[in-house]
Structure 1
Amino acid sequence: MSDLIYPTVDLFLYALKTSLNTTDAETQKNQAAFLEQLPSDTQFYDPDIETEYLEITHPPQINFISQNKTLEGYYYAVRLNDTYGLQIDCSINNQTETQPAKSFAILKTEIEQKVNKELTIIGKTWLLSGWLPENSSQNHEDIAKDCYYALFKDTYWQPDKGTFLDGKVFEVGRSQYINQSLKNATSSLNSNEYDVIITIYNNRESAEKSAEFYKDWMGLFCYRSKISWAYWQSRLVKESLLNHYKQIEENRKITNQSNSRQEKQNITTSRKILNNIDNILQQYTIDLLNLSFQKQIIEINLSNYQLRLALIQEKAGQNNQLDFLEKFSALANKKYLPQITKDIENMQLGLQLLEDTINATRSRIEAEKSEREHNFQELVAVAGASIATISLVREPAKDCNKDIFFKQVRFFCDYPFSSSFIVGIIVGFVVLWLRKRWRS
């Protein structure tokens, strides 16, 4: 038997109101999407001010109506700086009789029906709780395990453990998406990603006292969600940077292959390649700044997370052990931040290489342009000499009987135009030879 009194499920979910480069229209759209989670007659108040914690509905706690009369619950919405937070609470409306662990599945289903699937969230945490009947001999972990599998049947039970208000607390799934592929990183946060905390209290008094910590959990889970979200955003940005780098390398290889074969690219083609590299480099630079921005988000929220956790531990008292929540701080300090720092250093080196590639390509284009201009000048000089010679020879050739030279060469008298043209070509080649000899 895994029976508890007053089983309760709380879902804490978070959505960004504003983010990097968010327009006013996008901010309003995010706000409208968040409002879809609440009843249509909700009195909503969200002034355009910077605030660490703001209750944005009146009343702050809004009871919801369920078709299942055995259930009760409420919404609680806040804004934490640039992020909306929503707590949806649902309980079995009976504080005297024990309920089986499978009743948690009913509560979870009720909550999920009230969540708008179109909302893009950055994180969510399920908080399950209840208290043992008097003189119960049930094992806390066995009950927690049954409660967990009532909600999530496809995950291996491997919890972190602690104590809270004389009860036993278990956490599962915090690092669930660390091993997920980047391809599924954003979609999984909206569906399969979750963090579950289960607290089995020894009595009603401890369970009722735990309600005083809901606001603290709201802040703590928010900071954790933003850290995880920022880390995964950094992975996506890194992937984008690598793709940009590969594209520039492909363009660079095209020009290098042409040079190795001693081919001269069309200037238009070369300029097209240079423009492609320039455009990609702009995106690369933006992504590199975004990577640094994600690092700052982690640093700020990690500091807030540690401060909030310290306040919770102080508020809960010395007999509580919440050390398992500090593992997330260690994860962020030892994995997230060093990884992003190393990525930024590597990508900055890549930026220097890309800039060198652009400079080399630009120099090559200028050299080709200069050579083509010089060749054009040669052509003009040769053509000018030829045309001038043709003009000078053609008129005397027409009147060959009066000219002693042309009298000796009958070809000039018979074919004056052709003869002058041939002489012009010969002169042109002589001029070309002399100019090349002079250049060398």
Structure 2
Amino acid sequence: MTDLIYPTLDLFLYALKTSLNTTDAETQKSKAAFLAQLSHNIQFNDPEIETEYLELTHPAQINLISNNKSIEGYYYPVRLNDTYGLQIDCSINNQTETQPAKSFAILKTEIEQKLNKELATIGKTWLLSGWLPENSSQNYEDIAKDCYYALFKDTSWQPKKGTFLDGKVFEIWRSEIKNCNQNKVPNALNSHERHVIIAIYPDRESAQQAAEFYKDWMGLFCYRSKISWAYQQSRLVKESLLNHYKKIEENRRITNQNHYWKEKQNITNSRQILSNIDNILQQYTIDLLNLSFQKAIIEINLSNYQIRLDLIKEKAGQKNQLDFLEKFSEIANKKYLAQITKDIENMQLGLQLLEDTINATRSRIEVEKAERERNFQELVAVAGAGIATISLVRETAKDCKDVFSKVSFFCNYPLSASLIVGIIVSFVVWWLRKRWRY
């Protein structure tokens, strides 16, 4: 048997109150979506001040109303700087009799029915807990595994293990980043990232002592969620940067074709291409700054995560072994930050290449423009010489004056004669100007 006394399921979920470039209307919308999680007619107090930890309602805990009389629980909403945090606690209302592990499925269903699906969350953590009956010989990990499978029907049981207040703690974390629109904040309630903590305590006293750490877990899981969310956002930003780069490369390949500049209409097309590249480069620069912004988010929240974890260890004293929670710090530092730093370096090189592409395209356009203007000037000069010659010859030949009086062709056909002479003069002028140019 894998039975527990007072099985309790807590969902810690987090939503941004404000984010980069958020408008007042969007901030109010986020606040309304968060409030929709809670019961009506509550006193909600969220002053516009910076605060590390602020309880948002009075009383701080709001009773969870359920149609199932065997279930009790509460909501606990807070704000941690720019992030809303909400703990939804749900328990089997019986602290004397053992309950099967499958009770957690009932609690999970109850919590999910209370969730506002419109709330755009950035992360969540499931915390399962309970204590063993007196003189129990059950294996801690077997109980934890059955509790986990009561909630999630997969086969990914590969926990990290530790101890906390004489209890056994198991952490299961699975992360899978999916491609999605960068402008749409992924909803962590439906995301493929799963973070689960299972704590099995030897007795009621240990479990009650552990309940005093809920505020600490609220902060720790918040920092953790923001780190994971920022890294996910960085992957979307990187994808956007690569798409921008590909678009500029496509335009560059078009303008680099040998026959491209030989076609007259392409000088106009090139100006449009240059305008497109400028616009893309502007978005590229913004995304590059955003990538650095996500790195900064990870850095500050990683520091806060480590500080909070150290405080939890100090508060728990010798009755803990929470080193497994340090592994997330290692991953964030050695993988997340290292990857983003490398991406920023590579994308900055890409920015230099893009700027070189724009400068080369702009120079090519100016060269072609100057060449076309020079050719036009040549045409005007040659045509002018020809027209002047035609006019002069025609008037002179028409009256058969001077030298043309001795040539009957000029007198008989003054128009044709003037055209021929004009063409010859134009050719001579063109040939002389060409020789002088080179």
Give the TM-score of the pair, scaled to structure 2.
Answer: 0.95
Which SS does the other structure have where 2:62 is aligned?
A: strand
1:286-325 correspondence runs (5 A): 286-325=286-325
| Cα separation, 2, equivalents of 1:154 and 1:437 | 83
Question: Cα deviation per residue 1:280-323 (whole Å; 9 max; x = unaligned)?
Answer: 11111111111111110000000000000000011111121111
User: 1:341, CA displacement in angstroms?
Assistant: 0.8
Question: Cα deviation per residue 1:333-362 (whole Å; 9 max; x = unaligned)?
Answer: 111111111111111111111111111111
Whether 1:263 aligns to 2:262 is yes
The residue aligned with 1:386 is 386
Which SS does the other structure have where 2:153 is aligned?
A: coil
User: 1:278, CA displacement in angstroms?
Assistant: 1.2
User: 1:262, CA displacement in angstroms?
Assistant: 7.2
The residue aligned with 1:285 is 285
The residue aligned with 2:179 is 182
User: 1:187, CA displacement in angstroms?
Assistant: 4.5
The residue aligned with 2:365 is 365
The residue aligned with 2:37 is 37
User: 1:42, CA displacement in angstroms?
Assistant: 2.5
**8 A Cα contact 2:79 2:85, kept in partner:** yes
The residue aligned with 1:374 is 374
The residue aligned with 1:409 is 407
**8 A Cα contact 2:120 2:187, kept in partner:** no
| Cα separation, 2, equivalents of 1:220 and 1:184 | 28
The residue aligned with 2:421 is 423
**8 A Cα contact 1:258 1:264, kept in partner:** no
**CA 1:268/1:77 → structure 2, altered by over 3 Å: closer, same or farther?**
same
Structure 2 letter corresponding to 1:263: K
Which SS does the other structure have where 2:234 is aligned?
A: helix
Structure 1 letter corresponding to 2:213: F
User: 1:386, CA displacement in angstroms?
Assistant: 1.3
User: 1:104, CA displacement in angstroms?
Assistant: 0.6
Which shifted more, 65-74 or 420-429? 420-429
The residue aligned with 2:234 is 234
The residue aligned with 1:437 is 435
Structure 1 letter corresponding to 2:368: E
Whether 1:83 aligns to 2:83 is yes
The residue aligned with 1:93 is 93
1:337-352 correspondence runs (5 A): 337-352=337-352
Which shifted more, 250-259 or 351-360? 250-259
Which SS does the other structure have where 1:96 is aligned?
A: coil
| Cα separation, 1, equivalents of 2:313 and 2:224 | 16
Which SS does the other structure have where 1:106 is aligned?
A: helix
| Cα separation, 2, equivalents of 1:306 and 1:91 | 30
Which SS does the other structure have where 1:390 is aligned?
A: helix
The residue aligned with 2:246 is 246
Which SS does the other structure have where 2:262 is aligned?
A: coil
Whether 1:10 aligns to 2:44 is no
Which SS does the other structure have where 1:258 is aligned?
A: coil
**CA 1:346/1:420 → structure 2, altered by over 3 Å: closer, same or farther?**
same
Structure 2 letter corresponding to 1:387: I
User: 1:252, CA displacement in angstroms?
Assistant: 1.4
User: 1:46, CA displacement in angstroms?
Assistant: 1.1
Which shifted more, 195-204 or 183-192? 183-192
Percent of residue pairs identical: 80
**8 A Cα contact 1:160 1:171, kept in partner:** yes
Structure 2 letter corresponding to 1:415: Y
Which SS does the other structure have where 1:69 is aligned?
A: coil
The residue aligned with 1:143 is 143
| Cα separation, 1, equivalents of 2:273 and 2:247 | 11
| Cα separation, 2, equivalents of 1:420 and 1:60 | 103
The residue aligned with 1:217 is 217
**8 A Cα contact 1:127 1:197, kept in partner:** yes
Which SS does the other structure have where 1:25 is aligned?
A: helix
User: 1:183, CA displacement in angstroms?
Assistant: 4.8
Question: Cα deviation per residue 1:75-94 (whole Å; 9 max; x = unaligned)?
Answer: 11111111110000011111
Which shifted more, 44-53 or 414-423? 414-423
**8 A Cα contact 2:131 2:203, kept in partner:** yes
**8 A Cα contact 2:12 2:125, kept in partner:** yes
| Cα separation, 1, equivalents of 2:373 and 2:336 | 55
Structure 2 letter corresponding to 1:421: L
Q: Which runs of 5+ in 2 are unaligned?
A: none
Structure 1 letter corresponding to 2:316: A
Number of residues paired by the alignment?
A: 434
**8 A Cα contact 1:8 1:129, kept in partner:** yes
User: 1:410, CA displacement in angstroms?
Assistant: 2.6
| Cα separation, 2, equivalents of 1:26 and 1:188 | 16
**8 A Cα contact 2:179 2:236, kept in partner:** yes
Which SS does the other structure have where 1:66 is aligned?
A: coil
| Cα separation, 1, equivalents of 2:247 and 2:219 | 42
**8 A Cα contact 2:121 2:186, kept in partner:** no
**8 A Cα contact 1:101 1:146, kept in partner:** yes
**CA 1:150/1:107 → structure 2, altered by over 3 Å: closer, same or farther?**
same
| Cα separation, 1, equivalents of 2:347 and 2:156 | 38
| Cα separation, 1, equivalents of 2:52 and 2:309 | 16
Which shifted more, 54-63 or 263-272? 263-272
